[in-house]
Amino acid sequence: MLETCALNAFYGKSHVLHGVDLSVNAHEVVALVGRNGVGRSTLIKSIMREVQTTGQILFEGDDLAQMPTHQVARGGIAYVPEHREIFAGLTVAENLALVREKPKAGALWDMARVLRRFPNLAERMNTDAGVLSGGEQQMLAMARALLSDPKLILIDEPTEGLAPRIVQDIARILHELKEDGLAILLVEQKLDIALEVADRIYVMGHGDIVFEGTPKEFESHPDIRRDWLEV
């Protein structure tokens, strides 16, 4: 479904990604883990065409490298950014309506299904997004992404800064989305959640992939955990 080939990314003269090869198959959850600053979020932004890149980014056979961000989104990729980027001055309902006010014919994810997945939001539709808790804001960001009816969703650090109880709520939602068959590329700092939900794990270090395999294969390589993840 998604494949990056020899992907390099730059912020001005700063070379952040160094020839990254990564893939996500249909109905697969892939976790991207690593220390802060190694390029995980940059990889997500590269796929969404928010960063200068070289190399290939293929989605269902189409090369995204020459597309603007809005075409990538319309092509079936949704993005939940690290800082959520909801509209604090708008209500929950207004934030969701910005994605889709009217049902899309044949859509798997319509408003009714999204609100069944996030019942807390259904109770707060007329509440300004800025007064929601951090967990509720994260759920709103995920609900907004789902309303675009994506084939693949990119989720960047969904549990960052949340209380332990809310972290477990987000982990449960990730499991449910996996059961729904949605393809997910997940950037997650909490390794236990990444290992629990993912079909495959990529470990990134210094702008490149240093390990790829199943969670079970990762567990059999304590050197990878020690060298690239532990402080």
Q: Is the pLDDT of residue 191 over 80?
A: yes
Q: Residue 87: which residues within 8 A CB-CB, separation 6 or more?
A: 94, 95, 98, 129
Give the model's pLDDT for residue 206: 92
Selected residue with higher pLDDT from 105 and 44:
44
Pinpoint the residues of the chain covered by CATH 3.40.50.300. 1-75+151-161+183-231
How confident is the model over 155-188, as pLDDT tens digits? Answer: 999 998 888 888 999 999 999 999 988 999 999 9
At residue 229, the 3 state secondary structure works out as coil
- Report residue 106 CA to chain centroid gap: 24
Share of residues in the chain with pLDDT > 90 (%): 82
Beta carbons of 127 and 146 less than 8 angstroms apart: no
Give the model's pLDDT for residue 29: 96
What average pLDDT does this structure show over 21-46? Answer: 96
- Pairing type for strands 200-205 and 29-33 reads parallel
Q: Is the pLDDT of residue 81 over 60?
A: yes
CA distances from 20 to 63, 112, 118, 150 (A): 15, 38, 34, 24
Q: Is the pLDDT of residue 66 over 90?
A: no
Domain 1-75+151-161+183-231 has CATH 2.70.98.40: no
Beta carbons of 72 and 48 less than 8 angstroms apart: yes
How confident is the model over 104-163, as pLDDT tens digits? Answer: 666 788 899 999 999 999 999 999 999 999 999 999 999 999 999 999 999 999 998 888
Beta carbons of 136 and 88 less than 8 angstroms apart: no
Q: Residue 4: which residues within 8 A CB-CB, separation 6 or more?
A: 20, 21, 22, 23, 43, 46, 47, 55, 56, 57, 58
